[in-house]
């Protein structure tokens, strides 16, 4: 045990790839290849499926699961979820919904890793700029409420502004963020999918997997981190992102 925790966040586009084929098996296979300890998945969609379409995801290296079903219909549901290989406690759903827009929730949880407690917030923010302004205020409070305890936030922030309000407010809480281009997957230009960490975590590596373009319209963000309480210094706030191959 080297104290390293592998994180992953991926908008899976309802399990539908560029070939317009629904296939969660290839989603699960790519995730399994990276062996993440904690995974946040956005756009999980079971609507209109007459089989247990989530079965491939239940086979991931994760014994604990929390979800936010933002849309519930007679034929299924839609939303995002947080998977963990370690016990997940204190799970809360935080309503980020804005009137007349698609419902949105953040998932917060405290995960008892083998190396200490870790606070995690999984998100999928709204498409409209005004919508995200209200949502990020709540997220900043969630990120700050544990003080200096190891805390991370990951997901699809739907924020393409280089120096927008979302980044400004979260930068006041978190000392590090990923800067990978993840959308559109085939020729990524936008940094919609991100990982934020406070100084309780040292980011050792952060990368993506171009092969994911065969399964979704987003690329994942994958990172290796270590709790700094184990004696690892936190990455300097001004250090460039560390991007390495898997």
Per-residue pLDDT tens over the stretch 19-64: 999 999 999 999 999 999 999 999 999 999 876 777 777 767 777 8
pLDDT one-digit tens code per residue, 184-220: 999 999 999 999 999 999 999 999 999 999 999 999 9
- What pTM was estimated for this model as a whole? 0.90
Q: What is the mean pLDDT of residues 165-187?
A: 94
Question: Residue 177 is encoded by which pair of tokens?
Answer: 């963020």
pLDDT recorded at residue 206: 98
Structure tokens at 40: 């946040």
Instruction: Give 84's pLDDT tier (boundaries 50, 70, 90).
Output: very high
164-176 in b/e form (b: 16+ CB < 10 A) is eebbebbeebbbb
What residues does 95 pair with on adjacent strands? 105
The answer as to CATH 3.60.10.10 being correct for domain 4-230 is yes
């Amino acid at each position: 045990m080297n104290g390293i925790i592998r994180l992953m966040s991926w908008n899976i586009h309802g399990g539908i790839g560029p070939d317009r084929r629904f296939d969660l098996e290839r989603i699960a296979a790519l995730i399994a290849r990276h062996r993440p300890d904690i995974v946040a998945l956005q756009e999980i969609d079971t609507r209109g499926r007459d089989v247990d379409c989530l079965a491939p995801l239940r086979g991931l290296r994760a014994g604990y699961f929390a979800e936010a079903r933002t849309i519930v219909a007679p034929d299924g549901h839609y939303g995002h979820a947080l998977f963990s290989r370690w016990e997940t406690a204190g799970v809360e759903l935080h309503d980020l919904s804005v009137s007349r827009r698609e419902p949105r929730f953040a998932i917060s949880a405290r995960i008892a890793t083998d190396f200490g407690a870790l606070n995690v917030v999984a998100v999928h923010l709204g498409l409209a700029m005004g919508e995200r302004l209200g949502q990020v205020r709540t997220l900043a409070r969630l990120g700050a409420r544990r003080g200096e305890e190891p805390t991370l936030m990951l997901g699809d922030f739907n924020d393409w502004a280089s120096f927008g309000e979302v980044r400004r407010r979260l930068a006041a809480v978190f000392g590090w963020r990923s800067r990978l281009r993840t959308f559109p997957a085939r020729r990524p230009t936008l940094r919609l999918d991100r990982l934020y960490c406070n100084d309780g975590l040292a980011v050792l590596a952060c990368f993506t997997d171009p092969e994911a373009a065969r399964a979704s319209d987003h690329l994942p963000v994958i990172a290796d981190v270590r709790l700094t309480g184990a004696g690892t210094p936190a990455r300097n706030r001004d250090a460039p992102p560390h991007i390495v191959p898997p």
